[in-house]
Structure 1
Amino acid sequence: MRTSLSDLFDGGSDDEVAEVMTRDAISIRATDTIRQAAMMMADLKVGSLPVCDGEELVGTVTDRDIAVRAVASGVDPVAPVIDIATQPVQWCYEDDDLADVKRKMEGRRIRRVPVLDHQKRCRPDAGGSILRGAI
């Protein structure tokens, strides 16, 4: 069972994102299809995937993006996932202050944000991290 940011957050000033983030999250390549994104989400039981072009984070795709921007709009399921991805993407570092990130997520009504290293790298199909909020 996943735990939300609110469930874990105790408000301490020393809390960092690394303490509560989901590790080893999977990302999808910008050139992968919308259908592949939907299948990955179903297999992994997740509602969001970071979208990467090589090691660069270029967007995020959610189950809502697929439903509203693809299915409801008649976009071909073999179109590249980047065509419906949310851009620009919001992200944070693992050593960012948890209270600050939580406020930003709540203010922007964001449920999940990718956690990047300080080189802002994203590695498709390999260990990434996600911070899951409570909105």
Structure 2
Amino acid sequence: ELLERDIDERKLAEEAVKLERQRFNNVVDMLPTYLILMTPDYHIPFANRFFREQFGEVNGRRCFEALFGRSEPCENCQSFTVLATMKPHEWEWSGPDGREYRVLDFPFIDVDGSTLIMEMGIDITDHKNA
């Protein structure tokens, strides 16, 4: 009986974690901004719905391949500044969709302890053109 109770409690805890993860994913996907994680070698292991809808599926490609069809990093990219400074960095970026973005980059420590870049992009095109 004690073992059954432990198993039931564990199942309830696992279900609660699953529901909380789903809630978090729903919140991130509802953001009216793009949110991505980038590795030091330019891969994008996570992209929210806004990013995928604006720029397409990443499918394990590096940012410059997925966004611009390039074979090497963009010369004017400021995303990786945060890896050198370990401080947030803000800049503006012209996306391949013809929109202007206010970009906020942050150092991000992943669950495995690796350092990534968390990037959020806010579409400021209409604001700039007003």
Q: If each structure's helix is expressed as a fraction of its own residues, which one has the higher value?
A: 2
What TM-score does the superposition give when structure 2 sets the normalisation length? 0.31
Larger Rg: 2
Higher relative contact order (CA 8 A, sep 6+): 1
What TM-score does the superposition give when structure 1 sets the normalisation length? 0.31
